[in-house]
Amino acid sequence: MFISSKISILTFSILMAVTLVSHAADYTIDDDYLQNLAEEADKLEYMDKAKQEVRQSEQQEASFSPSVVANVQRAENSLRDFERILLAEYPFSYQLYKKLDMSQKKQVFGVLQKSKKLSQTQHKIIELYNQTIN
C-alpha cells in the first residue's frame, strides 16, 4: 500500500509538471501581448505629453521668455547641449527624440539651427517619431 501511494504521488507530480510545461507557452503569449499593450500605451502617453510640451514652448516663445532665448542660444551650439536642454526642459519630447536614429537627430538639430525655435524642433521630433512607428 505504501509503495502504491508513492507511485500515485509520483505519477500525479509528473502529470502536473507536464501540464504546467505545456501551458507555459500560453502564458508567454499573454505576457508578450500585455508587454506590447504596455509599450503602445507608453508611446501614446509620451506623444500626448510631448504635444503638451510643444504648446508650452509656443507660449513661452510668444512671450519672448528670457529663459527660452537663453536655452535656444545654448542649444544651437552643439548637439550635446541641445540634448541636455531637451532632457532637462522637455523630458517627453526627449523620450521620443532618443528613439530616433542619428540622421534623424541631425535633422532635428538642423531645424533648431535654422528656425531658432524649440517648438518647431519639437514638432520635427514628433513628425520623425511618427514616421518611425508607422
What percentage of the chain has pLDDT greater than the value 70? 67
What is the rounded average pLDDT of the residues 63-81? 84
Give the pLDDT score at 37: 55
Residue 31 has pLDDT above 90, yes or no: no
Distance separating alpha carbons of residues 35 and 17, to the nearest angstrom: 26
Q: What is the pTM of this model?
A: 0.65
- Where are the chain's structural domains? 40-133
For residue 23, count other CB atoms closer than 10 A to its CB: 10
Contacts of 90 (CB under 8 A, 6+ apart): 50, 53, 57, 118, 122
What is the per-residue pLDDT for 52?
84
